[in-house]
A and B are shown apart, each in its own frame.
Chain A
Amino acid sequence: MNWTWFHKWGSPKWFYEMSGRWLPWLSVAAVLLMAVGLAWGLAFAPPDYQQGNSFRIIYIHVPAAFLAQSVYVMLAIAGLVGLVWKMKLADVALQQAAPIGAWMTVIALLTGAIWGKPTWGTYWVWDARLTSMLILLFLYFGVIALGQAITNRDSAAKACAVLALVGVVNIPIIKYSVDWWNTLHQPATFSVVAKPAMPFEMWMPLLLMVLGFYCFFGAVLLLRMRLEVLKREARASWVKAEVRMQVEKGL
């Protein structure tokens, strides 16, 4: 089985070895950042003068929302790389990142709704941010569904790449039109994030959490990609050796 997967970027084996080396670092960074950020944010940061303690959900909500948006951009970049340079690793990255992005969007939506209850008195309002997030979730569903529907692996990757690129061009347009729609229809809702600058004790844990979420995403993505590489390369001798080693270790 000869895979000329990558014209430029090493081989699956090389990726597997390199990612194996990065993985512990990323995981440790994710755990540390998130632990410190969470403890600081939940226990030590001062309560908000308007919302009291309920604002603390931003330490989950904001990082998840950040990640949800940047993962979609990452999908499009991976798609472009896959289409232009025919790099199969980019295809793997695209398809493995999409479900993570979708989950982050779900987390952002759920925490947003939970936060909405004390803030607006109801779980769901058609607020511009929540609506945009909901649409983003649909866009993720589209990419995932298309990837699942096409049986040919290479075609599926290419089709997802085209869809992600079309989507990423559309996202700013969707975002602006939704914001605009929102100002037309609900001018007087309480704006959550557009507030005077947060004090240091509030935004520092948030920054840590955002970084922690990114590291977490990186680690999960690498894990998923490594698994997919093993599946795709199942017939290669290095994969057989690796799996044998892991099994023996497990016993």
Chain B
Amino acid sequence: MSNVFSLLLARETRLLFRRPAELANPLVFFAIVIALFPLAVGPQTQLLQSLSPGLVWVAALLAVLLSLDGLFRSDFEDGSLEQWVLSPHPLPLLVLAKVLAHWLFSGLALVLLAPLLALMLGLPGRCLPVLLFSLLLGTPVLSLLGAVGAALTVGLKRGGLLLALLILPLYIPVLILGSGALQASLQGLPTLGHLLWLASLTALAVTLTPFAIAAGLKISVGE
């Protein structure tokens, strides 16, 4: 069983690396969204610094959401999902591997890119560990919750906008906790509480969402 998990992880990795451009797209999107804000609100350092926790988090959230639209689409179209649903292995385990692979190469890359963009917005260097930790704990939740929406909308021709409509409200706790942690760190307040809450959300999402994703895929495949 764990064998299938690692095989699927390897297969997904291979697939992702044969389309490197698609890996880069969310990252470029992330960078562009961040670059839009100084252009929109003005380049005052003070203002940008005080806004930066929120900006980084909103941009990261949108980038994850964007990258998830196609998560199951090609598997749905080429019949792979049918094979997964009909395999003797538990579907929640398979989807967990799939989302993990996706997170490793898009979520994690986002986490690594974020400090650079945050510095450009004027976030002081002492806040970077909190930024990294909060994104590290928060982006898996974003990926998992988004995968639920991707699974439910995979059979639809134009699922992208609907996916955003379904999933963005569910992202709010992560957004509040993540940007809250960063805000607290910016003001020199303790952040452990935020991070622990984020960690418990991660644990909750890893435990529960695979079942919802599997149920969503079964519905979409069974249509």
Residues of A within 8 A of B (CB): 83, 135, 138-139, 141-142, 145-146, 149-150, 152, 155, 158-159, 162-163, 165-167, 169-170, 173-174, 176-178, 180-181, 184
Contacts and interface: CB of A to CB of B under 8 A. Distances in A.
A44 to B, nearest CB: 40
A159 B169 contact: no
B168 A158 contact: no
Nearest to A157: B219
B173 A142 contact: no
Interface of B: 145, 148, 152-153, 155-156, 159, 162, 165-166, 168-170, 172-173, 176-177, 180, 201, 208-209, 212, 215-216, 219-220, 222-223
Contacts of B159: 149
B219 A159 contact: yes
3 closest cross-chain pairs (CB), A and B: A177-B173, A138-B169, A142-B166
A146 B162 contact: yes
A162 B219 contact: yes
Contacts of B172: 135, 174, 177-178
Contacts of B201: 173
Contact of A150 (B148, B155, B165): B155
Nearest to B170: A170
Contacts of B162: 145-146, 149
Nearest to B216: A162
A146 B153 contact: yes
A167 B170 contact: yes
Contacts, number: 76
Nearest to A135: B169
Q: Is the interface of B mostly helix, strand, loop or mixed?
A: helix
A177 B169 contact: no
Given A146-B152, A177-B172, 13 more contacts: A139-B169, A145-B166, A149-B159, A155-B155, A155-B219, A158-B215, A158-B219, A159-B216, A162-B219, A166-B212, A169-B208, A170-B170, A170-B173
Contacts of A145: 162, 165-166
Contacts of A159: 152, 216, 219-220
B156 A149 contact: yes
Given A138-B165, A180-B176, A152 B223 contact: yes
Contact of B180 (A138, A146, A162, A181): A181
A135 B172 CA distance: 9
A166 B153 contact: no
A41 to B, nearest CB: 32
B169 A155 contact: no
Contacts of A178: 172, 176
A210 B201 CA distance: 34
B219 A142 contact: no
23 contacts: A142-B166, A145-B166, A146-B166, A149-B156, A149-B159, A150-B155, A150-B156, A152-B223, A155-B155, A159-B152, A162-B152, A162-B219, A163-B152, A166-B170, A170-B170, A170-B173, A173-B201, A174-B172, A174-B173, A176-B173, A180-B180, A181-B180, A184-B180
